[in-house]
Amino acid sequence: MNDLPDDRDDDKDGDGDFSDMLSEMRILLPGAQMLSAFLIILPFNEGFAKIVHMEKLLFLATFFLSLTSLVLLSAPAIQHRLMRPLRDRARFKRIATRQIVAGAFSLAVALVLGTDLVISEVFGPVVGIAMALIMAALVLCFWWLLPAWLKRHDRV
């Protein structure tokens, strides 16, 4: 007999595997990767040197948050591999869920700041801020408020 706890113990949702988390990361990671890739090459464009200091600070914040989202979104996969076999699957899933949500939050802020950075450069700061506010409202509504509302009103 194996003295280790069964690695397939169900979590409180009853779905003991990590397929839901894997699916969520498959959605979030490419967005974070694309944004990071765009931001990595941005300073090497000849026009980047011409942007004002405030836009460079905006770039720095966006780049840092984008990379932070990559670290947080990929952390559960790396941790899972290094910690095998898992002794407390439900605890690991709770911690991983928090990391994914923190990564999504970093990505959301990076998307808003990236929107401002790009639109401000093309159309000016007023339009950039307006579009960033619209992007913030979209992210807030569809990523955070709608799921909270649906969870509260779930009658299943």
What span, in angstroms and rounded, lies between the C-alpha atoms of 42 and 145? 32
Give me the percent of the chain exceeding a pLDDT of 90.
62
pLDDT tens digits along 32-48: 999 999 999 999 998 88
CA atoms within 13 A on the CB side of 105: 7
Domain-wise residue ranges, the chain:
19-152
pLDDT of residue 113 exceeding 70: yes
What span, in angstroms and rounded, lies between the C-alpha atoms of 146 and 149? 5
pTM for this one?
0.82
Structure tokens at 73: 């979104």
Question: Residue range 11-35: average pLDDT?
Answer: 76
Collapsed DSSP state (helix, strand, coil) of residue 37:
helix
Q: Which residues of 27-55 are buried (b: 16+ CB within 10 A; e: fewer)?
A: ebbebbeebbeebeebeeeeeeeebeeeb
Let me know how many helices (H) and strands (E) the chain has, helices first: 5, 0
Q: Which residue bears the tokens 């004002």? A: 52
pLDDT of residue 5 exceeding 50: no
Q: How many CB atoms lie within 10 A of CB 89?
A: 20
pLDDT of residue 52 exceeding 50: yes
| pLDDT, position 156 | 53
